[in-house]
Every structure is written in structure tokens, then in C-alpha cells.
Amino acid sequence: MTDSHKEAFDRRARNYLQLDARLAAHTRFFAAAALTNSVLAELCAHRARWMWISQTTLGTLSTLGGMLETLNLRRADSLDPRADSGASLDASWVEMEQAYVESVLCGWARSCAPRYNRLIAELDRLLLAVANGLLPPRCSPNVRRYEQVLRSVTRVAGRCPRFAICADRISIGKALIQEARRRQPT
């Protein structure tokens, strides 16, 4: 099962990289989404993954990722590159996506509180592990990039971000986009 989750995250990362190649002049949202999915794919393949995140939570993230991919692809198709670009587009994209995540999480909390609570606890543990440099494989450039972003968000907030807090997820998304913009060749 973990292999199918890894394949889904890898496929999604490739799709987002293709969108980033086409739309990088307007938004780096897709570079951030590609990095997130790449890190999740690497996590699926790591033998010590169970220390931070369960198979069930990976499946839930894969499901949520599929929902977001559908939403993001639909919005990308309607993007007007002549009118939309830059930091305001990036911010609106992150805020739109995280508002959707928030509605999904609220529904999951109502329909199955124990499973929701486990999901949040595991994702918070994972965020803390990444922010503190505890997540192997440390040699992975993607994990190192994600770690640097989470450390930056943690420093600014004065605490590690929490997955259940929409504003924290938005801060992570915006920081990932800033990191992608800094890496973008001029």
C-alpha cells in the first residue's frame, strides 16, 4: 500500500513540476506543491516512516492530495497569464487551497473525531520532526529544503506550525513559494 501512496505522490509531484515549468513566470505555487509531494513520496519509501506517520495517515494525505490536485488543475486551466501573476496570485492560491483543506478537515472532525485526532497528532509530530531536522533521509535535497522552510516558519511564529491551524498551513505554503522564488533562475 505504501508503494501505491509513493507512486501517487511521485505522479503528483511530476504533474506539478510540469505546471510550474509552464506557469513559473506567474506563480510558484506549483513548485511548492511539487516539493511537498516529493517529500511525502520520499517519506513513504523510508524504512523508519512508521516512527512519525502511519499507513492510514499517508492514505488520508494521498486522498486529500488527489482532491487538491483536481481543484488546482481546474484553477490552473482557468488562469489568465496576462492578468494574474506574482505574490498576490501565489497568496490567493495558497489561501484558496487551504480554505478547501480546512473545510475537508472540519468534515472529517465531525464524521470521525478519533481518526481526525490521530491524523492531526501524527502530522504535528511529523512537522516537529522535520522542523528539528530529525527526519531521515537528511541527505535528500528535497527534505533539506522543506526542513529549512519549516525552521523559518517556526522561527517567525515562535513555535512549530500545527496542521490543524489553517493560518499555520498558509504560512508554510507561502514560505515554500518564497523558497521557490529564491531558487528561480533569473
Q: Is 169 exposed, middle or buried (0-12, 13-18, 19+ CB in 10 A)?
A: buried
Supply the mean pLDDT for the chain. 89
For residues 59-83, average pLDDT: 88
pLDDT of residue 137: 56
Rounded to whole angstroms, the Cα distance separating 39 from 34 reads 9
Q: Is this model's pTM higher than 0.95 or not?
A: no
* Per-residue pLDDT tens over the stretch 86-110: 778 889 999 999 999 999 999 999 9
The C-alpha cell at 109 is: 472532525
Ordered by start, the domain boundaries in the chain are 2-77+87-183
- What H or E segment, with its residue span, contains residue 46? none
* Per-residue pLDDT tens over the stretch 122-146: 999 988 888 887 766 566 888 889 9
Q: Residue type for 92, please? A: S
Q: Is 71 exposed, middle or buried (0-12, 13-18, 19+ CB in 10 A)?
A: middle
